[in-house]
């Protein structure tokens, strides 16, 4: 990335729609827009002459050819997302109008933006820190209201404020230690040493609190994978349709109808849950069904939750019991379906002994009875307790988790060394490792490879 280049990209999803937005950012944004924008009307003017945060009406021109009628917004640095001069052109929606407008600004001197480059520039120019930059992607990819709230809290800097405080405490402690290194004949006074140890212990406790939010943060960002399993014709596809609130899977009394895995995401009590309807696991000579069963087993290996559907109108079979044994190590909800029929299936203590992390729910997929109870059970299996607002403020992601784990190890080693009166140089080295690891979260210590890894996952135009 060359910071002084002016970049451009389509900032809205491709496809037909009412509007599309093409964004330009960089020191030549106004000059490039001037070359292709023709003001229309007495109140409109060229972008370079327009006041900041105003909208101009006109046409995008390619030579003498009119590409589209547009509204052009002017944002002057530093009051912009990237802290650079920025132009946003709103044209008619549709793939062709947006592409032609983008092609026009590129031919007039802009460069096509890399994925996430607008947000990367906002970070490099000090508009946001690295944790806030990641929150932009989380905001875009939010699939539930809770995920949206968590992303907004992180974007507002709630996590960054706490992480910066932790880093400041580590840096302050390191400064005290390094000051005593310069005077080797003077020992650290007992009161001062106790204060330093207390600060480090407080930091470790705070890191533990943040690390406990990692699982919840992962759930909010990527969802929980829940595989629906059971014998053929137990009602797996009917259950999927009930959980989604629409007919997604084909339902038939013919066993083996589902021959491939079907994945759909639903909002279950505020949590994104990816339901996987699997082919019934049975012996088959049908090549298509065999492939479906193979894919089902791959999905089951990745699932964090098993929804085991049982036919309540039939006694337990050997196949059912084989399922109990095969998936005994996973969180499981046993679902007795077809409870509108005479119930002949009893779940005794045998299945609970084999799988301690389980519970059972009775449903009727034809009427929907028991589905709300099942949703509560799913939420309670993947998220213990109440979803509190303060928890959403600091729900960390996997990168934060890795950095905090390294910081905690180094801080604990520094604490133990200081308490044992070890060489202060070793204490200072551990504290520097901890402070640098914490700094990675907000981008105060970072590498180009790390930035490329983070921003490459963004969409182009953001």
Greater model confidence, 88 or 343: 88
pLDDT of residue 103: 96
pLDDT at 116 over 60: yes
Share of the chain above pLDDT 70, in %: 85
Give the pLDDT band of residue 238 (cuts 50, 70, 90): confident
| Class of domain 7-128 (CATH, top level) | alpha beta
Asked if 340 and 259 touch (Cβ cutoff 8 Å), the reply is no
- The pLDDT tens digits for 310-343 are 888 888 888 777 777 777 778 889 998 988 888 8
- Where are the CATH 3.40.50.300 domain residues in the chain? 227-382
Could you give the CA distance from residue 331 to residue 234 in angstroms, rounded to a whole number?
20
pLDDT of residue 285: 54
pLDDT of residue 248: 62
Asked if 320 and 310 touch (Cβ cutoff 8 Å), the reply is yes
SS3 217: helix
* Overall average pLDDT of the 78-94 stretch: 94
* Overall average pLDDT of the 211-217 stretch: 81
pLDDT at 394 over 80: no
Q: What is the pTM of this model?
A: 0.75
Give the pLDDT band of residue 104 (cuts 50, 70, 90): very high
- The pLDDT tens digits for 381-391 are 887 666 666 66
Give the pLDDT band of residue 448 (cuts 50, 70, 90): confident
Count of residues in the chain: 462
Q: What's the N-to-C CA distance of the chain in angstroms?
A: 15
pLDDT at 255 over 50: no
pLDDT of residue 259: 44
pLDDT of residue 340: 86
Could you give the CA distance from residue 44 to residue 30 in angstroms, rounded to a whole number?
15
Could you give the CA distance from residue 27 to residue 15 in angstroms, rounded to a whole number?
30
Could you give the CA distance from residue 224 to residue 303 in angstroms, rounded to a whole number?
8
Greater model confidence, 76 or 263: 76
| Class of domain 227-382 (CATH, top level) | alpha beta
**Residue 444 — φ and ψ, nearest 5°?**
-80, -20
Give the pLDDT band of residue 200 (cuts 50, 70, 90): very high
Q: Both tokens of residue 193?
A: 């040493």
pLDDT of residue 243: 86
pLDDT at 258 over 50: no
* Overall average pLDDT of the 165-175 stretch: 92
Q: Which CATH architecture group holds 132-213+395-443?
A: Up-down Bundle (1.20)
Torsion sign across C-alpha atoms 356, 362, 366, 371: negative
pLDDT of residue 46: 96
* Overall average pLDDT of the 418-438 stretch: 91
Q: Which of 406, 399, 443 is nearest to 132 (CA)?
A: 443
CA-to-CA dists, residue 253 to 123, 237, 332, angstroms: 56, 11, 25
Asked if 140 and 115 touch (Cβ cutoff 8 Å), the reply is no
pLDDT at 252 over 50: no
pLDDT at 3 over 70: no
pLDDT of residue 257: 44
Residue 325, Cβ density class (10 Å: 0-12 exposed, 13-18 middle, ≥19 buried) = exposed
pLDDT of residue 17: 82
pLDDT at 409 over 80: yes
* Overall average pLDDT of the 111-140 stretch: 92
pLDDT at 351 over 60: no
Radius of gyration of the chain (CA): 29
Pairing of strands 271-277, 224-230: parallel
- Where are the CATH 3.30.1360.120 domain residues in the chain? 7-128
């Amino acid at each position: 990335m060359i910071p002084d280049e002016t970049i451009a990209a389509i900032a809205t999803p491709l496809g037909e729609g009412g509007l599309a937005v093409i964004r330009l950012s960089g020191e030549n944004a106004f000059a490039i827009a001037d070359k292709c924008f023709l003001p229309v009307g007495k109140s409109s003017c060229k972008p370079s002459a327009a006041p900041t945060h105003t909208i101009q009406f006109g046409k995008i021109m390619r030579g003498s050819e009119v590409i589209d009628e547009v509204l052009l917004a002017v944002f002057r640095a530093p009051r912009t997302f990237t802290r650079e001069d920025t132009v946003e052109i709103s044209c008619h929606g549709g793939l062709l109008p947006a592409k032609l407008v983008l092609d026009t600004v590129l031919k007039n001197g802009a460069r096509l933006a890399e994925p996430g480059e607008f947000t990367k520039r906002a970070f490099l120019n000090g508009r946001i820190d690295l944790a806030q930059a990641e929150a932009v992607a989380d905001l875009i990819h939010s699939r539930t209201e809770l995920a949206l709230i968590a992303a907004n809290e992180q974007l507002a800097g709630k996590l960054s404020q706490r992480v910066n405080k932790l880093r400041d405490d580590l840096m302050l402690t390191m400064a005290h230690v390094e000051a005593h290194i310069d005077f080797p004949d003077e020992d650290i006074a007992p009161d001062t040493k106790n204060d330093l140890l207390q600060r480090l212990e407080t930091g470790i406790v705070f890191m533990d609190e943040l690390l406990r939010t990692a699982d919840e943060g992962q759930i909010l960002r990527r969802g929980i994978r829940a595989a629906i399993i059971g014998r053929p014709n137990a009602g797996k596809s009917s259950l999927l349709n009930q959980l989604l609130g629409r007919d997604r899977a084909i339902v038939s009394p013919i066993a083996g109808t589902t021959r491939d895995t079907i994945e759909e995401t639903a909002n279950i009590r505020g949590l994104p849950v990816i339901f996987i309807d699997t082919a019934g696991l049975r012996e088959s000579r049908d090549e298509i069904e065999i492939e479906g069963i193979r894919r089902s087993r791959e999905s089951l290996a990745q699932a964090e939750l098993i929804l085991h559907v049982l036919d309540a109108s039939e006694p337990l079979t050997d196949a059912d019991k084989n399922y109990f044994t095969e998936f005994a190590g996973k969180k499981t909800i046993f679902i007795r379906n077809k409870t509108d029929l005479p119930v002949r299936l009893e779940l005794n203590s045998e299945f609970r002994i084999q799988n301690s992390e389980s519970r059972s729910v009775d449903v009727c997929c034809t009427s929907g009875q028991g589905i709300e109870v099942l949703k509560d059970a799913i939420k309670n299996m993947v998220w213990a307790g109440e979803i509190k607002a303060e928890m959403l403020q600091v729900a960390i992601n996997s990168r934060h988790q890795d950095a905090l784990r390294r910081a905690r190890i180094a801080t604990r080693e520094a604490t133990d060394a200081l308490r044992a009166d070890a060489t202060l140089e070793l204490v200072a080295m551990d504290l520097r490792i901890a402070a640098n690891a914490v700094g990675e979260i907000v981008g105060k210590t970072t590498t180009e490879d790390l930035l490329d890894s983070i921003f490459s996952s963004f969409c182009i135009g953001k």
